[in-house]
Structure 1
Amino acid sequence: MLGCLLVLGACGSEPEVGCTMIGTPVGIGLDVAMPEVRTATMQVCWDDKCVDPVVELHPSSSAGPQTCTGTAPTDSCGVSVVPTGGRNGFADVPDLPTAPVRVTLRLSDANGVVLVDEVLTATPKPAYPNGVECGGQGPQTGLVVSAAGVVTERT
């Protein structure tokens, strides 16, 4: 009888989920499709608090065309990374809430000419680097700037 109960109990239990101790940066990502942009400044405000995080921009890249040596299981395929001409960065905002924030974004060219000066509302959400079953980590959001200079929140 006891053996049957143990077997039945094991059948009804959920498999264990392996959650790592991976961390998640808290802040706002930035993807800019304007090749002429060289610098970014950002101010993030909520409640009665404003912060001016540092935003370093880096060249963006994406996967290029896939090439394969054949179609046999022992053949190989490869993809090279190609520059997109855009820029990307991340603004660390340690106390970022999971509530709407006001973001002022300014993008400038190499001569310091302001190309984008936009104020918008964004809503950070918890990140789930291990999946929702492991719980959320610090909030994040992202801003996307089109080649025409239109700023939207990444969804």
Structure 2
Amino acid sequence: MAFAALALAGCGTTGLTNGRECTAIGTPRGIGLTVEPPLAAKATDATVKTCWNGVCRTARTELRDSTTAVPQGCADGPDGACAATASPTGAKNGFADVNDLPESPVQVTLTLRDAQGESVLKQQITTTPQAVYANGPHCGKGGPQVSLVAANGRVTVARP
């Protein structure tokens, strides 16, 4: 389960690269978070402290309810359309912007807090952020990101 947060930098396309269109979409530098149940029921926000080469950045993010698409069927006919609704999964997600996040090893300390501000999980992990290619490698790379998953009392790096 990869989490690649994409931020719209504009609408439309920016032109052709190697015969393919590249949209005006960007990828922010930062740390994506997924908090799985039952921990998600307690956690309301997260603090992410990221350190490398003697530099540390701290970002706080509100956790939002995660959803999944539930198909609602399709209408018949040439103008038929399909529908879906969003259904809560019980998990939560967030994204912590780290504007100068490098593509080299970093130490990340994730602290999840409840509504009263009490820590419900705190763990440090070392990982290497990877560049995100919002439109594929033919359009160039975007900002590096890391996706973390908090589940079963521990934090791991999500792999695509």
| Alignment TM class, shorter chain as reference | 0.7 to 0.9
Structure 1: distance between partners of 2:100 and 2:81: 46
Structure 1 unmatched ranges of 5 or more: 1-13
Between the two proteins, what is the percent identity of the paired residues? Answer: 42
Distance 1:125 1:91 in 2: 15
TM-score where L is the length of structure 1 = 0.81
Pick the structure with greater CA Rg: 1
Q: Deviations over 1:10-62 (max 9, x none)?
A: xxxx9622223321111111111122111211100001100101222212111
- Structure number with the higher strand fraction is 2
Distance, in Å, in 1 between the alignment partners of 2:89 and 2:31 is 21
- The one-letter code sitting in structure 1 at the alignment partner of 2:28 is P
1:3 paired residue number? none
Match of 2:155 in 1: 151
Task: Give SS of 1:121's match.
Answer: strand
Shift of 1:122: 1.7
2:60 paired residue number: 54
How far 1:124 moved relative to its partner? 0.6
Give the structure with the larger helix fraction.
1
Change in 2 beyond 3 A, CA 1:141/1:41? same
Structure 2: how far apart are the matches of 1:73 and 1:123? Answer: 49
What letter is aligned with 1:126?
A: A
Q: Does 1:25 align with 2:28?
A: yes
Distance between the aligned counterparts of 1:70 and 1:121, measured in 2?
Answer: 49
| Matched-pair contact (CA < 8 Å) for 2:112–2:120 | yes
Cα offset for 1:86? 2.1
Indicate whether 1:142 and 2:125 are aligned: no
Question: How far apart are 1:127 and its partner, in Å?
Answer: 0.7
Residues matched between the structures, number? 140
When residues 69 and 131 of structure 1 are mapped into structure 2, their CA distance, relative to the original with a 3 A threshold, is: closer
Structure 2: stretches of 5+ with no match in the other structure: 1-16
RMSD value, Cα: 2.0
Picking from 10, 16, 19, the partner of 1:16 is 19
TM-score (norm 2): 0.78
Give distance in 1, aligned partners of 2:128 and 2:94: 18
